[in-house]
Amino acid sequence: QVQLVESGGGSVQPGGSLRISCAVFGNIGSRYWLAWFRQAPGKEREGVAAINSGGSTSYADSVKGRFTVSQDNAKSTFPLQMNSLKPDDTAMYYCAAALSYPYYVSPGLRGVHYDYWGQGTQVTVSS
């Protein structure tokens, strides 16, 4: 069984930075995608950033150049560094893991392919 636990959310002023992290508990194997999604009140969930077991990354257009996803060597955490934050970045942020997708699928930022989800951490950008 895999468990994901987010941490590091909070409030920040526009233009500021915040680093949130996801702790991964359990064996995720050697073929996986790890991703961050967010959902603001009244809006649909959207994929923000993802990284796979080969180190490839994928970003939503709205965060390219501002957000960076990474993974530590022990595969135990994957943080999301968020810079130049905007009020539109305000949302609940969730980490997720895709472990059992078909070989012909590349989950990327598509939530339907993700098997495990964290409980979320709130990020608020406001002056």
pLDDT digits (tens, 9 = 90+) for 34-84: 999 999 999 999 999 999 999 999 999 999 999 999 998 777 899 999 999
For residues 69 and 33, the answer to whether their CB atoms sit within 8 Å is no
Whether the predicted pLDDT of 99 surpasses 80 = yes
Mean of the per-residue pLDDT values of the chain: 95
Residue carrying the six token digits 């990284």 = 51
Write down the pLDDT at residue 55: 92
Strand partners, 10: 123
pLDDT mean over 19-29: 94
Q: Reduce the DSSP state of residue 85 to 3 states and report it.
A: coil
Tokens of 65: 């150049």
**Residue corresponding to tokens 């995608």:** 33
Is residue 126 within 8 A of residue 109, CB to CB? The reply is: no
Mean pLDDT over residues 27-40, rounded? 95
